[in-house]
Amino acid sequence: MNEITSLERREGGPGPIRRTALHDTLVSHLRDMIIEGDLPPGTRLHEGQLGEQLGVSRTPLREAIKYLASEGLVELVPSRGAVVKRFSAKDVRDMLTVLQSLEELAGRLACEAASDAGIAEVRALHDEMVRRYKAGDRLQYYKLNQQIHTAIAQLSGNAALADMHAMLQTRLKRIRFIGHEGPEKWAAAVAEHEEMIAALEARDKERLSEVLGRHLMNAWERVRDAV
């Protein structure tokens, strides 16, 4: 599915606006390939082959792989290259436990630090997400869902918190991406999101923190079968 041309190295726009660095492009491209299952867990990242597929030589590819290794998506095996990291059910549960703790903290901080405009943006994302939910558009729902959680982490105003949150969320993306919840669980998740937004708009720290915590507890129930 990923052809050579899928990796556009330059902005095609008019004028010398802004060049996208190849490194960043490669990293996000590989990340996507892992998340979306193009590169299943356990797959060896063959430098020559993969580089040819993407139309890139081995050098920048290797750099991107090292970056992803530090991010925790791939594992480096000395003299044997890199393989896509495999997460056990316990790993996923553990990640969700940490994510829960981080989001509870983020919720509390966000109620204090967020600007009204920032909260309004999250509300807008939420409304859009609900629209997608009603339309049954799973993919867009899923993406907006992630965006909302990311946005709340950022509203905390704590960069380190947002960083750690983003890292865990990235590792979990693949799991959630394949986790297909039934209609009733899906509805419950949306309801929890409603609560979240309400608490955020009311700047009710404890309530937001509690809802976020509960939401992630339930998230485990929703994905546990997929793992």
Q: Which does 71 bind (CB under 5 to 8 A by kind): DNA, a copy of itself, none?
A: a copy of itself
Q: Which is nearer to a copy of itself, 31 or 126 (CB)?
A: 31
CA distance 40 to 35: 8
Distance CA 109, CA 21 (A): 34
Applying CB under 7 A, does 23 fall inside the site for DNA?
yes
Nearer to DNA, 7 or 227 (CB): 7
From DNA, a copy of itself, none, interface partner of 168 (C-beta below 5 to 8 A by class) = a copy of itself
Choosing from 2, 22, 38, 213, the residue that interacts with DNA (CB under 7 A) is 22
Applying CB under 7 A, among 44, 143, 185, 203 the residue interacting with DNA is 44
Q: CA 137 → CA 35, 141, 142, distances in Å?
A: 19, 6, 9
Q: How far is the CB of 92 from a copy of itself (least distance, A)?
A: 9
Q: From CA 35, how far away is CA 4, in angstroms rounded? A: 19
**Counting runs of H as helices and runs of E as strands, what totals does the chain give?**
9, 3
Smallest CA-to-CA distance from 104 within 158, 37, 179, 34 is with 158
Nearer to a copy of itself by C-beta: 186 or 220?
220
CA–CA separation, 153 and 160 (whole Å): 10
Interaction site with a copy of itself (CB under 8 A) = 19, 21, 23-24, 59, 62-64, 66-72, 76, 78-79, 91, 94-95, 97-98, 101-102, 105, 109, 158-161, 163-164, 167-168, 171
Quick check: 59 binds DNA (CB under 7 A)?
A: yes
Residue among 44, 33, 34 nearest 1 (CA): 33
